[in-house]
Amino acid sequence: MTDAVSRFYLSHLPGAIRKPSLLQAACPFCLRFGKDPDSALIVHLNQESFFHGYFRCLHRCVDGGFPLHFARLAGISLVEVPGFDPDREYHGREVDYPAKNINHELIGFADKLADEHLDFFGTAAIAPEVLAELRIGYNGRYLVYPYLQPDGNCYAARCVHPQRPEDFFWYGDERFFAEQFRLFNAPEIDRCENGALFLVEGEQNLMPLKQLGLPGIAVPTAADLDHLDPLRLNWIRTIFLWVNHNAESETMARMFATRTGYKVRLIRWPEQAARNSSIFQLAAEAGTQFQKEVASRLKEARAFSPFATPAGEYQIFTERLLQESGSSYGNLTGGFAKMDKALGGMHGINIMGGTPKAGKSAFSIQIASDMARRKIPVIYYDFENGRQKIYLRILSRLSRLSVDRIKDNRLPDDERQRLSEAQQHLRVLLTWLRVVNDRKLSPETMRRHIDFLRHETNAEYTVVVIDSLHKLPFKDISQKRSGIDGWLRQLEAIRDELGAGFLVISELERGTDGQFDRQPHLGSFKGSGDIGYSADNAMVLLPQWDPFDDHPPTTRRNELWLVASREHSPGRIGSYRLDYPYWGFIEE
C-alpha cells in the first residue's frame, strides 16, 4: 500500500489490520457515542476502485466518506490530506440559512414510524439503522423525507404517501421548496469530496444503496435533474447516475450527463428488465444477491465520455480489419495494373495533378467507369466537362466508336450493333456511377450522397472522384486558398467516417518563367500547401508530347509519377498511351 491515500489512513489508524484491498481498525469515532470501537471501521483501499479511500463505520456512528471528511471528523489538519486544495470554492456556501429549522420536528416524525413501515422497507432488506441515518419519519399519513442542507440542518421535507408516490407535498420553509434545494442527503456531497457517489431518482431508491454502505444522493424525480447545477458536484470525482427504467427518466439522465461531462457514469438496466424497474424493486427481488447485482452494474457502467469505450474501439478496429481483408476492399482498384500496384488500390485520398489538356479528366472518367462496370459505386463530381460529355466519352470507349461516329445516324450494321451493346452497358453502369454537377456542393451534401449510394447499391465502400479540387464551391473567391484547405480537411473526415476512397484532380503550379516543371515533385501542386499533408497518395500526370507536334495522336504518351505517399515508395508509376479517338488511355 504505497499510495498517498493508503499512507494517510495507516498513519492515523494505529493498529489497523491490513487485508486485501481493505483496512480494518478500531473506529476512532465510536467512543464519542458510547459504542464499542472494536474493529468497526473499514477503509476501501483498492487503487483500481472508484471508491478507493472510502471509509465507513459498521456501527454507523458517523457518516462515511473519503479522506477529507475523515480528517474533518478526526480534527486532522487538512494540509496532511492527499488531494487537499486550499483554493477550492464550494458551491452553496453563499446561501444565507435562516435561524429556524425543523430539526426538532424530525425527531417526532421518526418516532411515528410504525412496524408496517419497517416491514415495508424490510422487503428490500433495509434496516432501521439506515432509516435513522437518513432521518426518515412518518407524520401519521405520509412518509417524511427530510432534505438536509450542507450546513447540516433541515428546513424542508418532502412528504410522500406510502402507497401512492405521486401523492406528495412539501413541508417547512417555502424558500427551501425551490428547485435548487431539491437534493436528498445533500451533505453527502461534501463527505465524498475527491471521491465517488451515487445519484439516483427517488429517495426510496437511495436506501438499498445506503444499506450496502455506499454513498449517495437523490433527486425526487428524474425531471429534477434538469435543475441540478453541476457546480454542486464540482469536486466529486465520479458520479454513478442510476434512474428508473423508462424512456423519460433515461432521457433526463443523458441530458444531465451531457451538461456535467465525463465524471458521470450511466448505469443502464438490462434489456430484459421490466419497464419502470427501480433500485428498490431490484433489492426486494434480488434479496441476498443484491450486492452482486450492484457490483455487476458498476462494472458495466459507462462513462459519458467523448471517446468510444475500449471494447467498442477494439470492435470497430477488428471489423474494419476484417473488411479490409475481404474482397470488397481488395476490389477497389482503378483498372490500371501498375497504378493499382503502386497505390495499393483506390483507398484514401489520391490527388492527381497535371498540366492543362494532359488528359486528367479522361484518365479519371476511365477509372470511374471501369470501377462502376465492376459494380463499385462511384460518385463523379464534375465541374469541368458536363454530364453529357462524360457519358459520350464513356460510350465512345465502350463501343470503340469516336464521338463523331456515335452522332452519325448512318452507321453500318456492325457499328450500330456495337453502339447498341455499349448503350446497354452504359444503362446498367449508371446504377453504380452518379455524375453530379452541383455548383453549390457542400461537405454535408457529399456525405448524404455517399450514404445514399452506399445504401442504394448495398455496398461497403464508395469511391468519390472530384474534377477538380480548384473548382469546388467556396463561399468567397478571395479566400480560395483557405477554401481548398478547408475542403481537404472535410475530405479527410469523410474518408475516416465513411471509409470512402477519393480520386481528386488538381492543377499544377507554373514556374516563374510561365512553364510547368518537367521534373514532378510535391511542390508542383497549385494553390494549397495542405495537399502534401492531406493526400495519402499524390500523383502527377505529365505529357511526353508536344501539342504543336504533327505526330499522330495515337503516339502520344503520358507518364504518371507518384511524388508522395504515406505507405508506398515514390517514383515513376508507368507510361500511358492515348487510346485515340476513344477518350481513354492504355497502360504500357
Residue-wise pLDDT tens digits, 315-348: 888 887 887 777 778 889 999 999 999 999 999 9
Q: How far apart are CA 202 and CA 279, in angstroms?
A: 10
Mean pLDDT value across residues 540-548: 85
Which range (193-197, 305-309, 452-456) has the least confidence? 305-309
Average pLDDT on 257-282 reads 93
CATH number, residue 179: 3.40.1360.10
User: Do 362 and 466 belong together in one domain?
Assistant: yes
pLDDT tops 80 at residue 202:
yes
Query: Please, what's the b/e burial string for 518-548 (b: 16 or more CB within 10 A of its CB; e: otherwise)?
Result: eebeeebbebbebbeebbbbbbbbbbeeeee
Owner of C-alpha cell 437518513 = 134
pLDDT given at position 2: 63
Task: Judge whether 323 lies within some domain.
Answer: no
**b/e 356-375 (16+ beta carbons within 10 angstroms → b):** eebbbbbbbbbbbbbbbbee
Kindly tell me if the per-residue pLDDT of 314 is higher than 70.
yes
Q: What is the CATH number for 69?
A: 3.90.580.10
pLDDT for 564 beyond 70: yes
pLDDT at 527 (0 to 100): 65
Beta strand residue intervals within 105-142, DSSP E? 137-138
Asked whether the predicted pLDDT for residue 479 surpasses 70, the reply is: no
Note the pLDDT tens digit of each residue in 445-465.
999 999 999 999 999 899 999
Domain residues for 217? Answer: 106-307
Pairwise CA distance, residues 25 & 39, whole Å: 5
Tell me the C-alpha distance between 30 and 62, whole Å: 8
Same-domain pairing of 366 and 402: yes
175 and 137 together in one domain: yes
Whole-number Å distance between alpha carbons of 142 and 165: 10
Q: Give pLDDT, residue 52.
A: 95
Last residue of a domain, one of 307, 340, 370: 307
For range 519-534, the mean pLDDT: 75
556 occurs within a structural domain:
yes
- Same domain, yes or no: 370 and 302: no
pLDDT band at 98 (very low <50, low <70, confident <90, very high): very high
pLDDT at 92 over 90: no
Query: Alpha helix locations (H) across 228-359?
Result: 247-260, 279-286, 290-300, 310-324, 327-330, 337-343
- Encode 81-106: b = buried (16+ Cβ within 10 Å), e = exposed: bbbeeeeeeeebeeeebeeebbeebb
Tell me: pLDDT of 204 over 60: yes
Residue 1 has pLDDT above 60, yes or no: no
Q: Are residues 382 and 256 in the same domain?
A: no
The values of phi and psi at residue 472, to 5°, are -65, 150
Instruction: Report yes or no on 327 lying in a domain.
Output: no
Tally of domains in the chain: 3
pLDDT greater than 60 at residue 478: no
518: in domain: yes
From the list 174, 190, 191, 201, the residue with the least C-alpha distance to 232 is 190
pLDDT confidence bin for 121, thresholds 50/70/90: very high
Query: What's the confidence (pLDDT) of residue 529?
Result: 63
Among residues 64, 80, 96, the one where a domain terminates is 80
Domain boundary among 15, 45, 80: 80
Is 569 or 327 the better-scoring residue by pLDDT?
A: 569
Residues in the chain: 588
Q: Is the pLDDT of residue 547 over 80?
A: no
Confidence of residue 312 (pLDDT cuts 50, 70, 90): confident
Q: For residue 342, is it within any domain? A: no
CATH number at residue 459: 3.40.50.300
Q: Is the pLDDT of residue 480 over 70?
A: no
Residues 57 and 182 in one domain: no
Q: Are 54 and 195 in contact (CB under 8 A)?
A: yes
Residue 75 and residue 110 share a domain:
no
Q: Is residue 330 domain-resident?
A: no
Q: How does the average pLDDT of the chain come out, rounded?
A: 91
What cell was used for 530? 495542405
H/E element, 303: strand 302-303
Residue 316 lies in a domain: no
- Quote the percentage of the chain above a pLDDT of 90: 75
**pLDDT reading at 307 higher than 80:** no
pLDDT in tens, 45-59: 998 899 999 999 999
For residues 74 and 153, membership in a common domain is answered with no
> Rounded to 5 degrees, what are φ and ψ at 553?
-55, -30
Q: Are residues 444 and 495 in the same domain?
A: yes
Considering the domain architecture, whether residues 494 and 577 belong to the same structural domain is answered as yes
Residue 51 confidence (pLDDT): 96
Evaluate whether residue 265 is within a structural domain.
yes
Q: Domain check: are 110 and 70 in the same one? A: no
C-alpha cell, 534 = 492531406
154-174 per-position pLDDT tens digit = 999 999 999 999 999 999 999
Tell whether the model's pLDDT for residue 296 goes beyond 90: yes
On whether both 265 and 379 belong to a single domain, the answer is: no
